[in-house]
Amino acid sequence: MNVVNLSAYRFVALDDLPALRERVLERASALALKGTVLLAPEGINLFLAGPREAVDAFMAWLRGDARFAGLGAKESLSEAVPFGRLRVRLKKEIITMRMPAIRPEGGRAPAVDAPTLKRWLDAGCDDDGREVVLLDTRNDYETDVGRFAQAVDYRLASFTAFPDAVAADRARYAGKTVVSYCTGGIRCEKAALHMQELGIEHVRQLEGGILKYLELTDGAHWQGDCFVFDGRGAVGADLRPSGERA
């Protein structure tokens, strides 16, 4: 498998969107990358695929902008590029929640990394002895493909329904540590901030989402595959496209 599939995002204030779009489009096109890059006042969200050298060159170029220095990424491999073309789009939000008061670019909610979450799940509690509740912030068709065991699933038709769903269910999380998760980290970051605004005390987001969890752990406590928004459809716990597994 010689195609690198890259997923990355960062909440950071951007005020030069049209010019930035042109620079990103020019650089990604020159490297023959395919996929989607979303740019909004609140940050960047990208899904790109191509050969290793091209992907690395693009990320090195992007990180040359101080706003994206240290931008983390999730990687997986496939035999073919799962995108038909390259798109660089300007949006109001890089992930639509329609809660203008939630501004991740102004400060993150606390996070838990993948190895620590696995250790908590193995132990049945966090380091302070609190019960850990996993909260899936994805849409219902994504959770149908795979999810963490015993995770709360609100059967969302879209992420815009999340704020009302969790607000009506706040009592569930009293005295517990709630860890929000999603595919790559972007939705669960906004979700964690919203839960803090609701007064839910012990909130964490899963750093890097499901993809980083599967990359850094043995996949324990994960059930099924992980839905991805490209031609692969889903990847397994080994991050290989579901259709390419024997």
**55-104 per-position pLDDT tens digit:** 999 999 999 999 999 899 999 999 999 999 999 999 999 988 777 766 77
Burial 95-112, CB ≥16 within 10 A → b, else e:
bebeeeebebbeeebebb
Question: Of 38, 58, 90, which residue sits at a domain end?
Answer: 90
More confidently predicted of 43 and 99: 43
What are 134-166's pLDDT values in tens digits?
999 999 999 999 999 999 999 999 999 999 999
Containing structural domain, residue 80: 3-90
The answer to whether residues 183 and 227 touch, using CB atoms and an 8 Å cutoff, is yes
User: Could you tell me if residue 97 is inside a domain?
Assistant: no
pLDDT at 102: 67
More confidently predicted of 190 and 245: 190
What are 193-205's pLDDT values in tens digits?
999 999 999 999 9
Q: What is the largest CA-CA distance in the chain?
A: 52
Residue 80 in tokens:
């073919």
Q: Strands, E, within 92-200: which ranges?
A: 111-112, 132-136, 146-148, 152-153, 177-181
121 and 164 inside one domain: yes
Q: Which of 125, 182, 188, 226 is catalytic?
A: 182
138 and 230 inside one domain: yes
Banded model confidence at residue 31, pLDDT cuts 50, 70, 90? very high
Query: Is a pLDDT exceeding 90 seen at residue 4?
Result: yes
pLDDT at 54: 98
The domain spanning residue 210 has which CATH number?
Answer: 3.40.250.10
Annotation marks residue 125 as catalytic: no
User: Could you tell me if residue 220 is inside a domain?
Assistant: yes
Question: Of 62, 90, 118, which residue sits at a domain end?
Answer: 90
User: Could you tell me if residue 98 is inside a domain?
Assistant: no
| Domains contained in the chain, number | 2
**Helical (H) or strand (E) element with 223:** strand 222-224
Question: Of 90, 123, 138, which residue sits at a domain end?
Answer: 90
Amino acid at site 27: R
Mean per-residue pLDDT for 219-230?
Answer: 96
Residue 31 in tokens:
């490297």
The answer to whether residues 63 and 69 touch, using CB atoms and an 8 Å cutoff, is yes
The domain spanning residue 77 has which CATH number?
Answer: 3.30.70.100
Task: Return the C-alpha torsion angle 3, 225, 237, 38, nearest 10.
Answer: 50
